[in-house]
């Protein structure tokens, strides 16, 4: 028989209280740091696109003006967190989708292993070159970094406690990280426990869920629908840093880059290409196969016999 003295019981109780207090204090300090970070790093929208500049003639390369347009539409108000996605095909597709929708920051919690895909890089179509990607070994490290930079955590899940993103009462906070989970089992328990809000997109069919890339695109689009002001929200410092990086990547010669950086051009009102520059990209190998197959089908097509008088 084991006897527990009052002193032992008090020691155990004191240890538990100290552990809980330490956890609470740590969480409070982390959130306080995030609040300070938000106050010191205000997000602003910079827009200078009063007219369609497609046909202007001011010796500014189209790629530079397009970069400025993309930059003014980029947001740092929304961070996309991709947690433990183990399919490289899906991950690259999600990165391309995020870039297309104007997300600048994608944080990736690394999975235990990757299901490699030889076409992964081609799927992303160089979208990763224009994103700020940060990787974490654990969900706990990602959560800590989000708290310290003042982001609320919204996890996507289908539990009965989740709030529909179509609910008119849903409002976007000053900074939000939207977490997309693993293909098989979704967001981790640790991330759900840390979430400030659990959200979902209603589905209306027999299928229980959407493909990861499709779901990500719909969620991001919905967030911008909820808060159009999130489009282009970024600190002046980050915008200037990205502009410097992008311009120097696109222009040959530092002197020419400095000229554009000193006086950034007005942005396009519409990112679609002019009709005379629009054309679908297709690899020569794929194009050749399609042409060969179409020619084969045309040769095999039965010739219609002339109708009888």
Mean pLDDT (the chain, rounded): 86
35-39, 138-142, 231-235, 246-250: segment of lowest average pLDDT: 35-39
pLDDT digits (tens, 9 = 90+) for 122-164: 566 678 899 999 999 999 999 999 999 999 999 999 999 999 9
In a domain, 212, yes or no: yes
Sequence-distant contacts of 163-166: CB under 8 A, at least 24 apart? 163/197, 163/198, 163/199, 163/200, 164/199, 164/200, 164/201, 164/202, 165/199, 165/200, 165/201, 165/219, 165/222, 165/223, 165/226, 166/201, 166/202, 166/222
List the structure tokens of 59. Answer: 């010796």
| Count of domains observed in the chain | 1
What pairs with residue 75 in β-bridges? Answer: 103
In a domain, 104, yes or no: yes
Q: Assess contact for 199 and 154: CB atoms under 8 A.
A: yes
DSSP secondary structure letter of residue 186: B
Q: What three-state secondary structure class fits 135?
A: strand
pLDDT of residue 49: 52
d(C-alpha 73, C-alpha 300), whole Å? 50
Per-residue pLDDT band for 50 (boundaries 50, 70, 90) equals very low
> Is residue 282 scored above 80 in pLDDT?
no
Per-residue pLDDT band for 1 (boundaries 50, 70, 90) equals low
In a domain, 84, yes or no: yes
> Is residue 16 scored above 90 in pLDDT?
no
106-115, 232-241, 272-281: segment of lowest average pLDDT: 272-281
pLDDT of residue 15: 75
How crowded is residue 141: how many other Cβ atoms within 10 Å of its Cβ? 12
Q: Exposed/middle/buried for 248, CB within 10 Å: 0-12, 13-18, 19+? A: middle
Cβ partners under 8 Å of residue 71, min gap 6? 239, 242, 243, 246, 267
Q: What percent of the chain has pLDDT over 90?
A: 57
Domain that includes residue 97, residue range:
77-231
Q: Which helix (H) or strand (E) holds 256?
A: helix 254-262
Decide which of 13 and 39 is more confident.
39
Alpha helices (runs of H) in 227-283, residue ranges in sequence order: 236-250, 254-262
In a domain, 155, yes or no: yes
In a domain, 269, yes or no: no
pLDDT digits (tens, 9 = 90+) for 168-207: 999 999 999 999 999 889 999 999 999 999 999 999 999 9
d(C-alpha 176, C-alpha 271), whole Å? 26
Task: Indicate which CATH number applies to the domain containing 169.
Answer: 3.40.1280.10
pLDDT of residue 266: 92
């Amino acid at each position: 028989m084991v006897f527990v003295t009052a002193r032992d019981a008090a020691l155990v109780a004191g240890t538990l209280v100290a552990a809980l207090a330490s956890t609470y204090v740590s969480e409070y300090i982390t959130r306080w740091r995030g609040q300070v970070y938000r106050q010191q790093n205000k997000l602003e929208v910079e827009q200078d696109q009063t007219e369609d500049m497609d046909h202007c003639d001011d010796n500014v390369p189209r790629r530079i003006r397009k970069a400025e347009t993309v930059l003014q539409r980029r947001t740092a108000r929304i961070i996309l967190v991709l947690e433990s996605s183990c399919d490289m095909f899906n991950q690259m597709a999600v990165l391309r989708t995020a870039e297309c929708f104007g997300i600048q920051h994608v944080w990736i919690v690394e999975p235990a292993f990757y299901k490699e895909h030889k076409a992964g890089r081609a799927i992303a179509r160089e979208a990763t070159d224009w994103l700020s990607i940060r990787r974490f070994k654990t969900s706990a490290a990602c959560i800590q970094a989000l708290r310290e930079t003042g982001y609320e955590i919204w996890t996507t899940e289908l539990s009965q406690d989740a709030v529909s993103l179509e609910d008119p009462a849903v409002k976007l906070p000053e900074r939000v990280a939207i977490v997309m989970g693993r293909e098989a089992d979704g967001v981790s328990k640790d991330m759900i426990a840390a979430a400030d809000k659990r959200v979902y997109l209603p589905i209306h069919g027999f299928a229980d869920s959407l493909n990861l890339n499709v779901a990500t695109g719909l969620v991001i689009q919905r967030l911008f629908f909820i808060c159009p002001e999130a489009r282009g929200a970024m600190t002046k410092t980050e915008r200037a840093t990205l502009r410097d990086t992008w311009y120097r990547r696109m222009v040959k010669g530092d002197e020419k880059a400095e000229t554009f950086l000193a006086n950034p051009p007005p942005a396009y009102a519409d990112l679609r290409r002019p009709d005379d520059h629009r054309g679908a990209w297709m690899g020569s190998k794929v194009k050749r196969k399609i042409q060969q197959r179409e020619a084969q089908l045309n040769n095999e097509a039965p010739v219609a016999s002339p109708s009888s008088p």
